[in-house]
Amino acid sequence: MSRDRAVYPVIPPGVSDFREAGVDAAEEWRALEREGVTLVPTHCCYCGVQCGMYLRVDGDGRVFGVEPSDHDINKGKLCPKGVTAYQQVNHPDRLLYPLVRDRRGGELRRASWDEALDRVASEIRRIQDAYGRDAFGVYSGSSLVTENTYLMGKFARVGLRTRHIDYNGRLCMVSAAAANKKAFGIDRAANPWSDMFSTRLMLFAGANVAECFPVMSHYVWGARDRGAQMIVVDPRETPLARTAELHVPLRPGTDAAFFNAVLHVIEREGWLDGRFIAERTVGWEDVRDVVRAWDPPRAAAICGIDRELIERTARMWGTAERAMAFHARGIEHQIQGVENALSIINLVLATGQIGAAGKGYGTITGQGNGQGGREHGQKADQLPGARDIENPEHRAFIADLWGIDEPDLPHAGVSAVELVHLMETGEIRGFLALCNNPFVSMPNNRRIEACYERLEFHVQLDFFLSETAARADVVLPSTTWAEEGGTTTNAEGRVILRHKAAEPPGEARPDWWIIGRIAEHLGVGGPFAFDSTEAIFEELRRASKGGVADYSGITYDRLEETGGLFWPVPSEDHPGTPRLFEEGFNFPDGRARFNAVEWREPAEPVDDEYPIRLTTGRTVAHFLSGNQTRRIGALVEQTPRPWVEVHPSMGYANGDPVRVVTRRGEITLPALVTDTIREDTVFVPYHWAGATAANLMTVDALHPISRIPEYKVCACRIERGMEITASPAPPNPPGSPADEVAARTTVDLRQPTAPQGRGTSDA
In angstroms, give the least distance from the CB of 626 to another protein: 17
- Dist CA 656 CA 673 (whole Å): 9
Residues in contact with another protein by CB under 8 A are 1-4, 6, 8, 10-11, 15-16, 18-19, 21-26, 29-32, 65-66, 68, 76-80, 82-84, 210-211, 214-218, 220-222, 225, 237-240, 242-243, 620-621, 634, 638, 648, 654, 673-676, 753-757, 759-762
Helix or strand or coil: residue 294? coil
In this complex, which beta carbon is closest to another protein, that of residue 281 or of residue 638?
Answer: 638
In this complex, which beta carbon is closest to another protein, that of residue 281 or of residue 676?
Answer: 676
In angstroms, give the least distance from the CB of 358 to another protein: 18
Cα-based distances in Å from 251 to 209, 225, 234, 303: 19, 31, 8, 5
In this complex, which beta carbon is closest to another protein, that of residue 135 or of residue 244?
Answer: 244
In angstroms, give the least distance from the CB of 305 to another protein: 19
In angstroms, give the least distance from the CB of 237 to another protein: 6
The closest of 217, 188, 206 to 341, measured between CA atoms, is 206
Contact by Cβ (8 Å): 314, 265: yes
Phi then psi dihedrals of residue 493, to 5 deg: 95, 20
User: How much helix, strand and coil, in percent to the nearest 5, is found in the chain?
Assistant: 35, 15, 50
In this complex, which beta carbon is closest to another protein, that of residue 493 or of residue 757?
Answer: 757
In this complex, which beta carbon is closest to another protein, that of residue 3 or of residue 103?
Answer: 3
The closest of 247, 230, 255, 242 to 176, measured between CA atoms, is 255
In this complex, which beta carbon is closest to another protein, that of residue 561 or of residue 675?
Answer: 675
The 10 Å Cβ neighbour count of residue 197 is: 14
- Dist CA 216 CA 218 (whole Å): 5
Contact by Cβ (8 Å): 361, 325: yes
In this complex, which beta carbon is closest to another protein, that of residue 19 or of residue 103?
Answer: 19
In this complex, which beta carbon is closest to another protein, that of residue 91 or of residue 110?
Answer: 91
92-116 burial code (b ≥16 CB/10 A, e <16): ebbbebbbbbeeeeeebeebeeeeb
In angstroms, give the least distance from the CB of 563 to another protein: 18
- Dist CA 95 CA 403 (whole Å): 36
In this complex, which beta carbon is closest to another protein, that of residue 144 or of residue 220?
Answer: 220
In angstroms, give the least distance from the CB of 41 to another protein: 15
Radius of gyration from C-alpha coordinates of the chain: 26
In this complex, which beta carbon is closest to another protein, that of residue 210 or of residue 261?
Answer: 210
In angstroms, give the least distance from the CB of 714 to another protein: 24
In angstroms, give the least distance from the CB of 621 to another protein: 7
In this complex, which beta carbon is closest to another protein, that of residue 31 or of residue 743?
Answer: 31
In angstroms, give the least distance from the CB of 708 to another protein: 27
In angstroms, give the least distance from the CB of 28 to another protein: 9
Phi then psi dihedrals of residue 211, to 5 deg: -105, -30
With left for phi above 0 and alpha for psi between -120 and 50, is residue 394 left, alpha or beta? alpha
Burial of 70 (0-12, 13-18, 19+ CB in 10 A): exposed
In angstroms, give the least distance from the CB of 625 to another protein: 20
Question: Distance between terminal CA atoms of the chain?
Answer: 22
Helix or strand or coil: residue 649? helix
In angstroms, give the least distance from the CB of 590 to another protein: 38
In angstroms, give the least distance from the CB of 246 to another protein: 17
- Dist CA 499 CA 408 (whole Å): 36
Contact by Cβ (8 Å): 315, 307: no
In this complex, which beta carbon is closest to another protein, that of residue 217 or of residue 577?
Answer: 217
In angstroms, give the least distance from the CB of 24 to another protein: 6
Phi then psi dihedrals of residue 633, to 5 deg: -50, -45
326-362 burial code (b ≥16 CB/10 A, e <16): bbbbbbbbbbbbbbbbbbbbbbbbbbbbbbbbbbbbb
- H-only helix segments in 545-695: 556-562, 633-638
In angstroms, give the least distance from the CB of 88 to another protein: 14
Triad 728, 730, 733: Cα angle to 5°? 120
In angstroms, give the least distance from the CB of 731 to another protein: 25
In this complex, which beta carbon is closest to another protein, that of residue 620 or of residue 696?
Answer: 620
In this complex, which beta carbon is closest to another protein, that of residue 147 or of residue 237?
Answer: 237
In this complex, which beta carbon is closest to another protein, that of residue 553 or of residue 640?
Answer: 640
Cis peptide before 568 (omega within 30 of 0): yes
In this complex, which beta carbon is closest to another protein, that of residue 1 or of residue 722?
Answer: 1
Cα-based distances in Å from 200 to 85, 238, 344: 35, 21, 17
Does an H or E element contain 669, and which? strand 666-673
In angstroms, give the least distance from the CB of 211 to another protein: 7
In angstroms, give the least distance from the CB of 698 to another protein: 24
Of how many residues is the chain composed?
763
- Dist CA 553 CA 157 (whole Å): 26
In this complex, which beta carbon is closest to another protein, that of residue 222 or of residue 546?
Answer: 222
In this complex, which beta carbon is closest to another protein, that of residue 78 or of residue 300?
Answer: 78
- Dist CA 702 CA 409 (whole Å): 27
Cα-based distances in Å from 698 to 421, 493, 626: 16, 31, 18
- Between helix 307-319 and helix 296-303 the angle, nearest 10°, is 120
Does an H or E element contain 516, and which? helix 511-522
